[in-house]
Structure 1
Amino acid sequence: MLILRSQSPRRKEILHSLGLKFEIAPIPTDETSFEKETPVRYLERVSIAKLGPLPTDPNEVIISSDTIVVFDEKILQKPANEQEAFEMISMLSGKTHQVYSGLGIRTNQDTIFDFDMSDVEFHPWNDPQILDYIRTSKPFDKAGSYGIQDINSPAKNFNGSYLNILGFPIRKFFQYHSLWRKYL
């Protein structure tokens, strides 16, 4: 059995688009970042924590993912409110930042962590454009306060994987296909 430890509609859609048969069974995970924790170390810790305990069933494969937006080595989490969303998008306006998506895979034999990174450049938006985006797209469930898939996204350009930015490191996932291909 393939188990996805995420409630993300985007991750669910990506796995469905691959034709995979899986169950969704997230577990509560503390996503608080620690002082002086690097973005990759944070991503590894959270992605692995989301996997939960080792499965006892040898046919069970658990996957998790976490996505973070990083600017100047600072992790930009999901905004708590409109003010935080405004501050994040203002900070990123006209600049390039990184999006990291971590991948955790756990079987009863092994635990794997890997990640992908993409660069995203934002349009140089003014305050009314930022506020309009926040009020129409309501990006409160998205790291960095935006979704690249949004029709009026502040993203101007990107370098790397679109699906990584969307929230799942598909290129890394395919590297471990021997663990999950039987669920196609």
Structure 2
Amino acid sequence: MLILASKSPIRKTLLDNAGLHFLVASAPIDEREIEDRLLTQGENRQGLAVALAKSKALAVSKANPGAVVIGADQTFDQDGEGRHKPATIAEAAGNLMAMAGTSHSLHSGVALARDGEIVWSAVDTATLTFKDFSRAELDIVLRLEGEAILGSVGGYRLEGPSVRLFSRVQGDYFTILGLPLLALLDALAVHAPETLSQGGER
């Protein structure tokens, strides 16, 4: 059995599109507590992404003996400063206007756990550069996006109309979406090849 320890719709879609047969489960962890503790201990935001992925995978693995569990998380990094998902469209607008003309990184961590142990983990980074867009340009994008952007750590969706705000993207597309999919599929082939041969309805 393969389990995705995440309720992220985009991660679920990526695994669905890859033809994997899996269940979805929420990881009972306090992400903010883990973040605060690790950053206080000197962890950087890249390390935080993989640490959160491991925590999710382990939490769900301990409750599902024998299952292969995928944990994944993403952190935002602009010169060491992070952002979380905006609570409102107004908050997203303020954050995005403050980032016009700047670059930032997205770190996507992923881990596999089985029987309460991490068997593999990785982290990948992409760098994105915003255009020096105007408030009028942003308002058009916000109108097109609606509340969908509230599910994104940076307040934008590269797979949606928010792509209009960018001038350059460096890195893997799947990493930007929050799951280093190619590395994950390679890891499954090594650590849980049976998960790649399953199919059918969940």
Change (3 A) 1:109 1:67: closer
Q: 2:71, 2:111 within 8 Å by CA — same for their partners in 1?
A: yes
Q: Which letter does structure 2 place at the counterpart of 1:159?
A: Q
Structure 1 residue 84 corresponds to structure 2 residue 115: no
Structure 1 residue 40 corresponds to structure 2 residue 65: no
Q: Choose the corresponding residue for 1:161, options 162, 167, 172.
A: 172
In structure 1, runs of 5+ residues without a counterpart are none
Partner of 1:125: 133
Q: Which letter does structure 2 place at the counterpart of 1:38?
A: N
Q: Deviations over 1:10-50 (max 9, x none)?
A: 11111111111100111233221315442023223321221
Partner of 1:115: 123
3-state SS of paired residue (1:67):
strand
Determine which structure has the larger helix proportion and give its number. Answer: 2
> Number of residue pairs matched?
183
Q: Which letter does structure 2 place at the counterpart of 1:181?
A: P
In 2, Cα distance between the equivalents of 1:56 and 1:151?
A: 38
- How high is the sequence identity, in percent, across the aligned residues? 24
Q: Choose the corresponding residue for 2:155, options 130, 135, 145.
A: 145
Structure 1 stretches of 4+ with a deviation exceeding 6 A read none
3-state SS of paired residue (2:154):
helix
Q: 2:50, 2:72 within 8 Å by CA — same for their partners in 1?
A: no
Change (3 A) 1:56 1:76: closer
Partner of 2:200: none
Q: 1:44, 1:102 within 8 Å by CA — same for their partners in 2?
A: yes
3-state SS of paired residue (2:192):
helix
Q: Which letter does structure 2 place at the counterpart of 1:130?
A: L
TM-score (norm 1): 0.89
Structure 1 residue 72 corresponds to structure 2 residue 83: no
Q: Deviations over 1:76-114 (max 9, x none)?
A: 110111232122212321222111111021012730332
3-state SS of paired residue (2:132):
coil
Q: 1:61, 1:179 within 8 Å by CA — same for their partners in 2?
A: no
C-alpha deviation, 1:55, in angstroms: 5.7
Q: Choose the corresponding residue for 1:179, options 175, 185, 191.
A: 191
C-alpha deviation, 1:173, in angstroms: 0.9
Q: Which letter does structure 2 place at the counterpart of 1:182?
A: E
Structure 1 residue 29 corresponds to structure 2 residue 51: no
Structure 1 residue 49 corresponds to structure 2 residue 55: yes
C-alpha deviation, 1:150, in angstroms: 0.6
Change (3 A) 1:72 1:2: same
Partner of 2:143: 135
In 2, Cα distance between the equivalents of 1:133 and 1:31?
A: 29
* TM-align CA RMSD: 2.0
In structure 2, runs of 5+ residues without a counterpart are 197-202
TM-score (norm 2): 0.82
